[in-house]
Structure 1
Amino acid sequence: MVINNKRTFFKIVALSAMAVLTACNSTDFFNEYQSLPDGWKKSEPLVFDFESLDTITKHNAYLNIRTTNEYPYSNLFVIIKMFPPEGTPTVDTLQYQMANPDGKMLGTGFTDIKEHKLFWRENITFKKQGIYKIEVEHAIRKLNELKGDEVLKGVSEIGLQVQ
């Protein structure tokens, strides 16, 4: 494979390094990413499923988001729904700052791809044994508009990490 573009080369190196670093984290109870090649579609919530057998251990949960320079906003609104094996689902509506006031994207990374580790829940316990389903959708809309953005550009991957 011949890479003719330095920018493409650095993107490949950065993504490979991030994949290696996240794969080697032994404190993760669950860590999964989903790719969004055409942007983050509001009509298609991302779904993460995992099984919990431990009803005592406390975990910290994060939403990991990879953005490019095409991300048009300084913040991000998300709705996270957690469906336990039995009982009532919980819903969190959260706002995260994604850029400084000068427009420079926050997060880590050396190229135009930034990784944002966004805190979702602290000391969470999964009180019932079984399969948990997490749905994540964005709730971005332009100022003074009721209808949200159908496709959020500049988001390349979304991950759920439970440590």
Structure 2
Amino acid sequence: MGLKNKILLLFVAVTLFSCDQKRVFDDYQSVGKSWHKDSIVSFDLPQLDPKKTYNLYVNVRDNDDYPFNNLFLIVSLEQPNKQVKVDTLEYQMTNPDGTLLGDGFTDIKENKLFYKDKVSFTQKGLYKVHIKHALRQTGKIEGVTSLNGISDVGFRIESTE
């Protein structure tokens, strides 16, 4: 391996490591080959420094079986005092030509979807996050029962410092 290649490899390794230094929590749960509308993905969050702020993300792994352009999620942040903050979120999942957005070299793409920024966790105790999909087809009242093409759902917390 030439000096140029070694320098490039070192640069890539340092870049990848430094990009993830802000990670505080990053976990995934499998939903199988399709995500059922009644399936709620939940995460118990670690104890976080109440003096710091954090950016929150929902992570989704999808593949070419995903049949829609967008994704609707209901994300609930349950605080230790049992108060729950609920958000309904919409994310674009494909380019205009129908190809999947996200990172990945195979047909599986990983999407880091922004949820909230500069959040403080000031209460003592366990915080929980609950995520479910809320996708509906145009003109139909009933939600999509099984959402094909989604294999894993995750939650990520990054330090803002």
Q: TM-score if structure 1 supplies the norm length? A: 0.82
Q: Which protein has the larger Cα radius of gyration, Structure 1 or Structure 2?
A: 2
How many pairs align? 142
Give the 5 Å matches for 1:86-105: 86-105=81-100
Contact 1:54 1:129 in 2 (8 A): no
Please name the residue that 1:133 is paired with: 128
- C-alpha distance in 1 between matches for 2:147 and 2:48: 35
| SS of equivalent to 2:127 | strand
Q: Does residue 33 of structure 2 align to residue 51 of structure 1? A: no
Please name the residue that 2:12 is paired with: none
Deviations 1:94-129 (A, max 9, x none): 000000121111111111001111000100111202
> Once the two structures are aligned, what percentage of the paired residues are identical?
41
Give the 5 Å matches for 1:14-93: 25-93=20-88
Structure 2 counterpart of 1:118, from 90, 113, 118: 113
- How far 1:52 sits from its partner (Å)? 2.3
- C-alpha distance in 2 between matches for 1:28 and 1:76: 24
Q: TM-score if structure 2 supplies the norm length? A: 0.83
- How far 1:87 sits from its partner (Å)? 4.7
Please name the residue that 1:7 is paired with: none
- C-alpha distance in 2 between matches for 1:38 and 1:74: 18
Backbone CA RMSD of aligned residues = 1.6
Gaps of 5+ in 2: 1-15
Gaps of 5+ in 1: 1-20
